[in-house]
Amino acid sequence: MKLFGKKEEKKSCCCGGDCTPETIKKAEETKCEKGIKILGSGCAKCNALENATRTALSELHMDMEIDHITDFVQIASYGVMSTPALVFDHKVVSYGKVLTVEEVKKLLINSYGNKQV
């Protein structure tokens, strides 16, 4: 009877084992793109943050595209461990909670001013 044996090593990855050089390179390239990004799996909270951001952009008359990132390799490249997250031009401005329209508007004004982009 073998009580204490060598434990089988299992490789663990933040993205479910899809960390190839190609996927990491793609994640870094996407991270460098300017604009607004929602980071999250596509759950109800992520979608609520995206809707609040769209509404805030509309109310501020700002014409900007929103990119919803669901790939965990790309999300991890931002250093985000809690979603949903909101990113403006490479900078994570919020993570781990759903912002209200007013909160998003304040962040937009602080980041971009009240200019049309």
pLDDT of residue 117: 43
pLDDT tens across 79-88, in order? 998 999 999 9
List phi, psi (to 5°) of 64: -135, 145
Q: Taking a C-beta distance cutoff of 8 angstroms, is the pair 36, 85 a contact?
A: no
Cβ 53 vs Cβ 93: under 8 Å: no
pLDDT at site 53:
96
Residues 46 and 38: beta-carbon distance below 8 Å? yes
Residues 109 and 104: their CA atoms lie apart, in Å, by: 9
- For residues 5 and 116, what is the distance between their CA atoms, to the nearest angstrom? 64
- Between CA 50 and CA 73 the distance in angstroms is 20
Mean pLDDT of 45-64: 95
Residue spans per domain, the chain = 21-110
Which CATH homologous superfamily contains domain 21-110? Answer: Glutaredoxin (3.40.30.10)
